[in-house]
Structure 1
Amino acid sequence: MKKAETNTPITLKQIALKVGVSNIAVGHVLLGSGKKTVRVSEKTAERIRQVAAEMNYRPNLIARQLAGKGSNIIGVVIDTCAPEIHFKLLSEMERLAGLKNYRFMVGQTHNDISKINQYREDFASRGVDGIICMAHQDPDRGHEVFAAYSSFKNVVFIGKPLLDNNDSYYVSSDYREGMSKAVDHLCTQKCKRIGLLLLSTRTKAMEFRLEGFELGLKNHGFEKKHDLVEYIGLPGQISIKSLEPYILRLVHDHSVDGILACNDMIAAMAVRILQTNGLKVPEQVRVIGYDNVDWAGLFNPGITTLDQNYMQMSKLAIELLWAQINNQKIERKQRCVMVPPTLVVRQSA
């Protein structure tokens, strides 16, 4: 008869016996003990990690904390309605953290401050070593989220906080530079009137896009035209039907020959609306998106867009958090990192 499985935790000694090394070597690899006195080859360390995974080993959190060790857990809170690019950021950051033997504990919600505070308490009770906050951009609740999470010792925000005390750590796409680059490109393509499509969210990301748009126009000698900026609705509530009046107003009432969209989905909808109404893209109207999502190059025509360089942003965010966890000195100007987007030119512009 097969012996019933038990929930008895796997110990370092069991792993050491299976690998054929000392308990001290296993503790060094899995718990970070004896950093200055223990030496383990990378080949042996990889074998220890492999066996630990096979045996479903989990560190004893209480024992680690009593020994003055970290939990090797990073808490992450993310808005469920965040742009697609944020979930790619989350995936890449989790991969990079895994290379340092850290695991993610993720909480998701949308504009629910009670849940956000609950996640904060969960992170504190689990003794997480650091936090990555991706849910602080709501203009009504962002200040509360920032106040709640900035009190943690090791925190990195993705996107500039609404309330920045100049002492926070954050990594953000440089939306101003991105939109300015997009205007530059349309101007080199002889566009004379450029329209902008923004979400009606009042977030910093939308605000910075508008500032970049206006800066780009100014650099090319164009006046700011508020009637060429359309606020098209909230995330999740925009369809081709709801967007069509804004596009037709820009084209028929204001004779735009270039359109900048706040993301690639809006850009793709704009292209379809223009085509359905007998307008050729890019011959009559050029369209640029933002984010460079995976399907942007497969669309017909391929969407010209701004790539936020999420892999670089992920790497910088983990490095900032890692530096805090390890008590490394970071100059104030290095705590706030703006990553310039890259213009990806395709057929739509």
Structure 2
Amino acid sequence: MSVDFSRPKRVRLSDIAERVGVSRRAVSAVLLGTGGGRVGVGDQKASEIRSVAEAMGYQPKLAARQLVGKRSHTYGLLVASAGDPLRSFLIQHLDEEAVAHGNRTLIGNTVVAPDRFEKTVQLFTNSGVDGVLCAVHKWLPGDREALLKQHPCTIFYEDPGIDGAAFVATDRVSAARQATHYLLESGRQRIGLALTAIDLAHQKAAQAMVSLLEQMISGAELSPEQRQVRVEP
């Protein structure tokens, strides 16, 4: 007994046109809305085209729908690694928000290979995504300008340094304040503040976070030894 594991053949517009006995342009006009109204198809024939397409299991490509101005209800999310605890939290909530609004998310990990960023962007293009959120840190590899050219509706998770690019900026000092407050309220007595080399390069921002931690700890009910703040490179 042999089992055929090959993928089922995709139903093409030309297959439907041949079955109904009309031109491919007529089928495209009915199913994809192409032609700008210049392709005349009667109501009865249009109904037949839709019925045959459904019976044959036709599924329009997302990229084709996007080319004619129809939304794919799919968004691309670029992350360095979905296994990063902070990024997994971001992915979870973004995907939940997308699903709540009738959309879905395509997720691409970019650190697994040198050219994965560019390949994932091309995958998003082929899939006809409606927009992209790039949450890959700007010091990691990836052609952001090419991404923006292919997908003008892209939002970066930090300033990419590209004129006109849309981005969101995280207020790290406020985030550190909320995190420290939560830990102190939870009874924690040893609190660590991890700063990356990038953070330390921006001395004002790093010092602001250290000063904030010192202020909040000084007001807590801790012993003098527990109030010490040590910064180690």
Bin for the TM-score computed over the shorter chain = 0.5 to 0.7
User: 1:12-65: per-residue Cα shift (whole Å, max 9, x none)?
Assistant: xxxxxxxxxxxxxxxxxxx99xxxxxxxxxxxxxxxxxxxxxxx9854335424
Which secondary structure does the structure 2 equivalent of 1:85 belong to? helix
1:104 CA drift (Å): 1.8
**2:147 aligns with one of 121, 129, 149:** 149
Q: Is 1:257 aligned to 2:227, yes or no?
A: yes
Aligned to 1:246: none
- TM value normalised by structure 1: 0.38
Counterparts of 1:148 and 1:203, CA distance in 2 = 27
Aligned to 1:106: 107
Counterparts of 1:87 and 1:128, CA distance in 2 = 21
1:181 CA drift (Å): 5.0
Q: Is 1:177 aligned to 2:174, yes or no?
A: yes
Counterparts of 1:60 and 1:197, CA distance in 2 = 48
Q: Which amino acid aligns with 1:68?
A: G
Structure 2 gap segments, 5+ residues each: 12-31, 34-56, 219-223
- TM value normalised by structure 2: 0.53
Counterparts of 2:184 and 2:91, CA distance in 1 = 35
1:108 CA drift (Å): 0.8
Distance 1:255 1:79, change over 3 A: same
Q: How many residue pairs end up in the alignment?
A: 179
Aligned to 1:128: 129
Q: Which amino acid aligns with 2:133?
A: I
Equivalence map 1:55-70=2 (5 Å): 58-61=59-62, 63-70=64-71
1:129 CA drift (Å): 1.5
**Residue pair 1:113, 1:145 contacting (<8 A) in 2 also:** no
Aligned to 1:240: none
Counterparts of 1:178 and 1:197, CA distance in 2 = 12
Q: Is 1:168 aligned to 2:165, yes or no?
A: yes
1:218 CA drift (Å): 8.2
User: 1:155-194: per-residue Cα shift (whole Å, max 9, x none)?
Assistant: 1223x23x43463323344211122456678999xxxxx9
User: 1:319-346: per-residue Cα shift (whole Å, max 9, x none)?
Assistant: xxxxxxxxxxxxxxxxxxxxxxxxxxxx
Counterparts of 1:216 and 1:96, CA distance in 2 = 32
Identity of aligned residues (%): 19
Counterparts of 1:112 and 1:208, CA distance in 2 = 34
1:66 CA drift (Å): 4.9
1:88 CA drift (Å): 2.4
1:153 CA drift (Å): 0.7
Aligned to 2:97: 96
> Which structure: larger Rg?
2
1:69 CA drift (Å): 1.6
**Residue pair 2:10, 2:58 contacting (<8 A) in 1 also:** no
1:138 CA drift (Å): 5.3
Q: Which amino acid aligns with 2:148?
A: S
**Residue pair 2:75, 2:129 contacting (<8 A) in 1 also:** yes
Q: CA RMSD in A?
A: 4.9
Which secondary structure does the structure 2 equivalent of 1:68 belong to? coil
Which secondary structure does the structure 2 equivalent of 1:178 belong to? helix
**Residue pair 2:81, 2:87 contacting (<8 A) in 1 also:** no
